[in-house]
C-alpha cells in the first residue's frame, strides 16, 4: 500500500505537466484561428485550424463552455475550473489610406466630367480596416456625378489577403474653386511685393471676395497701401505703384520749353509713385508748382507756379 501511494504521488506532477492551459489574450496575425491560439501545450494538434479569425481591427471572445467543447473534440486535457475562463482573440488592423481613396475617386469622377480644380468632399467616410502586412488593392466602382447638384456617389472595393473583399458606399459633394493670391509673409505698408512674397491657393469660389488678386503678376513689383499679414488675401485696391519720391525729399525739377529744358532743385511736399502729380517747392524761389513724378528723385513741371 505504501509503495502504491508513493508511486501515485510521484506520478501526479508528471500528469499535471501534461495539462493544457488557456491563453487569455491573443493577437492573431493570420486569417485563421488555430488550436495553439487558444491553448498552451496543445501538443501535436497545435496547428489544427478551428475557423476564420476576427475581421481586422475587431476581436472575438470564446467563453469557458465553448473552450471545453473544443478541448474535448480535439483531445486536449483542459476543463474549466470556475466557469468564467475565456480567451479573447484580437486581430490588429490598419485603416486604408484616405489619400489613396481620394486619388482613385478623383480619377473616376474625372471620367464623369469633374473639373480638375474642383474640391471633392467626402461625407462621413470611415476607411475599412485591413490586415497590417497585407497587400491591399483598392478600386472605385459605380461612380456617378451630378454636376448641377454638385453631388457624387461611388463604391469603394477593398481587397486584401486574409479577408473577404469589402465594399463601402460613399458619397459627398463637389465644390467649384477659384485661385486666390495671399501673402507668404508679413509685409508693411510701402513694401514692394516680390515673387517670393506671395503664393496662389485655391478656395471655394463662393468665398472669393470681389477685387481679390488671383495671379502673382497682378501685384509683383507693386507696393502695398496697408500692412498685410501672412496668408492674408491681397486686394487689388490695396496695391499701388512703388513710391519713387518721398515727402520732404530733394528732387530735380525739369521744365520743358521749346528747344530747351531747364532744371532746378526742389523739395517734394508729398510722396508719389511714378506718374503721380505732387506739389513741389522750388528751394530757391520758394514757389510751389504741380509736378509729375517721372523717376526716382525726378519730376517734370506740369503747371504754372502758385
Same domain, 233 and 281: no
According to the model, what pLDDT value does residue 303 have? 63
Q: Between the CA atoms of 229, 233, 238 and 243, what dihedral angle is there, to the nearest 10 degrees? A: 60
Same domain, 228 and 212: yes
The CATH number of residue 227's host domain is 3.90.1210.10
| Region of 225 on the Ramachandran plot (φ > 0 left; ψ -120 to 50 alpha; else beta) | alpha
Task: Give the tens place of pLDDT for each residue, 254-286.
Answer: 988 777 888 999 999 999 888 889 999 999 999
What DSSP character marks residue 96?
A: P
Domain boundary among the residues 175, 191, 212 is at 175
How many distinct structural domains can be found in the chain? 4
Share of the chain above pLDDT 90, in %: 74
Over range 157-181, report the average pLDDT: 93
Same domain, 76 and 39: yes
- Is the entire prediction scored with pTM above 0.75? no
Domain that holds residue 60: 17-91
Same domain, 190 and 219: yes
Task: Give the tens place of pLDDT for each residue, 10-27.
Answer: 333 434 345 899 999 999
Task: Give the tens place of pLDDT for each residue, 198-252.
Answer: 999 999 998 899 999 999 999 999 999 999 999 999 999 999 888 889 999 999 9
Q: Is residue 28 part of a domain?
A: yes
Q: Is residue 61 part of a domain?
A: yes
Same domain, 22 and 79: yes
Task: Give the tens place of pLDDT for each residue, 132-154.
Answer: 888 999 999 999 999 889 999 99
> Is a pLDDT exceeding 90 seen at residue 63?
yes
Provide CB contacts within 8 A for 235, sequence distance 6+. Answer: 209, 211, 212, 213
Kindly list the distances between the CA atom of residue 2 and the CA atoms of 11, 13, 14, 108, in Å, as whole numbers in the listed order.
14, 18, 20, 85
Q: Classify 84 as helix, strand or coil.
A: coil
Q: Is residue 1 part of a domain?
A: no
Over range 175-185, report the average pLDDT: 95
**Per-residue cell: 105:** 475617386
Q: Is residue 10 part of a domain?
A: no
Q: Is residue 9 part of a domain?
A: no
Q: Is residue 6 part of a domain?
A: no
Same domain, 253 and 277: yes
Look over the chain and give the mean of its residue pLDDT values, rounded to a whole number: 89
Same domain, 163 and 201: no
According to the model, what pLDDT value does residue 190 have? 86
Same domain, 168 and 115: yes
The CATH number of residue 38's host domain is 2.60.480
Same domain, 150 and 162: yes
Provide CB contacts within 8 A for 176, sequence distance 6+. Answer: 115, 117, 118, 119, 150, 204, 205
Amino acid at each position: 500500500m505504501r509503495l502504491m501511494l508513493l508511486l501515485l504521488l510521484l506520478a501526479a506532477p508528471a500528469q499535471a505537466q501534461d495539462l493544457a492551459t488557456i491563453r487569455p489574450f491573443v493577437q492573431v496575425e493570420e486569417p485563421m484561428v488555430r488550436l495553439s491560439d487558444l491553448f498552451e501545450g496543445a501538443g501535436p494538434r497545435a496547428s489544427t485550424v478551428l475557423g476564420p479569425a476576427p475581421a481586422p481591427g475587431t476581436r472575438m471572445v470564446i467563453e469557458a463552455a465553448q473552450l471545453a467543447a473544443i478541448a474535448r473534440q480535439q483531445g486536449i486535457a483542459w476543463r474549466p475550473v470556475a466557469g468564467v475562463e475565456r480567451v479573447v482573440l484580437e486581430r490588429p488592423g490598419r485603416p486604408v489610406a484616405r489619400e489613396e481613396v481620394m486619388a482613385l475617386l478623383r480619377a473616376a469622377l474625372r471620367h464623369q466630367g469633374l473639373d480638375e480644380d474642383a474640391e471633392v468632399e467626402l461625407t462621413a467616410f470611415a476607411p475599412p480596416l485591413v490586415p497590417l502586412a497585407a497587400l491591399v488593392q483598392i478600386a472605385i466602382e459605380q461612380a456617378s456625378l451630378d454636376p448641377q447638384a454638385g453631388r457624387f456617389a461611388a463604391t469603394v472595393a477593398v481587397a486584401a489577403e486574409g479577408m473577404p473583399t469589402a465594399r463601402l458606399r460613399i458619397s459627398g459633394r463637389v465644390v467649384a474653386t477659384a485661385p486666390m493670391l495671399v501673402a507668404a509673409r508679413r509685409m508693411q505698408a510701402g513694401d514692394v511685393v516680390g515673387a517670393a512674397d506671395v503664393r496662389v491657393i485655391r478656395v471655394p469660389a463662393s468665398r472669393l471676395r470681389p477685387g481679390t488678386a488671383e495671379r502673382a503678376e497682378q501685384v509683383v513689383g507693386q507696393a502695398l497701401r496697408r500692412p498685410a499679414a501672412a496668408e492674408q488675401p491681397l486686394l487689388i485696391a490695396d496695391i499701388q505703384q512703388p513710391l519713387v519720391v518721398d515727402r520732404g525729399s530733394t528732387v530735380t525739377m525739369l521744365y520743358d520749353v521749346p528747344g530747351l529744358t531747364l532744371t532746378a532743385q526742389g523739395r517734394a511736399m508729398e510722396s508719389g509713385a511714378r506718374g503721380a502729380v505732387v506739389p513741389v517747392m522750388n528751394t530757391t524761389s520758394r514757389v510751389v508748382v504741380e509736378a509729375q513724378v517721372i523717376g526716382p528723385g525726378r519730376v517734370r513741371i506740369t503747371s504754372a507756379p502758385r
